Amino acid sequence: MDEERATPDWAHSFGGVVDAYDRARPTYPREAAQWLVGQEAATVLELGAGTGKLTEQLLALGHGVVATDPDTAMLERLKRNLPEASTLLAHAEDLPVGDHGFDAVVAAQAFHWFDLDLALPEIARALKRGGRVGLIWNQRDETIPWVRRLGELIGTQEQLDEPAAALAESGLFGEVEEASFKHWQQIDRTSIQQLVLSRSNVAVLDEEARAAKMAEVVAFYDGFGRGMDGMQLPYVARCFRATVLDHPGQEPDEAENASEDGGPSDGTDTDMLLIDFR
């Protein structure tokens, strides 16, 4: 996928480059968000939400979202960007939410950082009967020569273990469906530098090495000859979804009554926040 798995420290490098991440990372196609969660208004738990790139699309579709992230700086930026979203500081491996409270659990550009032995049971526990896990990654379309050259410069996209296999082998989810959505991001001389800076493998470099990498990126952009007009960076949003298998011991009416008063719940232990879909 479009992130580099190398050391645990990389997964916690994003808070230090939150401005670059927020400004330069691409959004996700709204139709992809709809494919992941569905058209009906739903309660959604988002894992590794970052600054809210996918969160924004889910809210625009009318879903009630509880966005989680393990990084305080990223979550603070999400709250500033999207005050209507509920937020929780949390890791995917230890979710502070009640059992069977969400219609969907989603992760954008984050699943590959999780300890799946711990995270997948937590995801299954959080889902209602018939609930769905949805995963999405933006990948640069490196079938295009100049995009492939950019990838060679900033780090080639590594094909990590396919998430479909991880979901299927867990025994917690049913058949995994896949879909892809093409989209483009407008970038210019400034934003391409911020995009590169937001990558974990660059964020962890020392100041001298990071400056050298930025100089290479600027030279690449200037040599491409687009100047102030910028360029369209093509992406393919790869999506995966699967329905949770029935929870042992869960009665059929449990999923229909997420909270004691029968109203929709955000799934947290306190069950204080009710989401109104009117």
Superfamily of the domain at 8-138+157-182+237-243: Vaccinia Virus protein VP39 (3.40.50.150)
pTM of the model: 0.79
Alpha-carbon distance 107 to 278, whole Å?
26
Return the pLDDT at 48.
96
Return the pLDDT at 206.
81
Average pLDDT over residues 2-31: 66
Q: Does the pLDDT of residue 233 top 70, yes or no?
A: yes
Average pLDDT over residues 129-135: 97
Residue 139: helix, strand or coil by DSSP?
Answer: strand
Q: What is the pLDDT of residues 173-223, one digit of tens each?
A: 999 999 999 999 998 888 888 888 877 777 677 888 888 888 888 888 888
**What's the gap between Cα 143 and its chain centre?**
23
DSSP 61: T
Contact 58, 31 (CB under 8 A): no
Residues facing residue 185 across a β-bridge: 233
Q: What is the pLDDT of residues 246-261, one digit of tens each?
A: 864 444 444 444 333 3
Terminal-residue alpha carbon distance, the chain? 37
Better-scored residue on pLDDT, 154 or 114: 114
Letter string b/e over residues 59-68, b meaning 16 or more CB atoms within 10 A of that residue's CB: bebebbbbbb
Return the pLDDT at 211.
85
Q: Does the pLDDT of residue 228 top 80, yes or no?
A: no
Q: Give the residue among 124, 123, 144, 136 at the shortest CA–CA distance from 234.
A: 144
At 137, give phi and psi (nearest 5°).
-135, 135
Residue in the block written with tokens 């990838």: 151
Residue in the block written with tokens 């500081």: 89
Q: What is the pLDDT of residues 30-74, one digit of tens each?
A: 999 999 999 999 999 999 999 999 999 999 999 999 999 999 999
Least confident segment among 1-5, 139-143, 145-149: 1-5
- The number of residues in the chain equals 278
* Residue spans per domain, the chain: 8-138+157-182+237-243
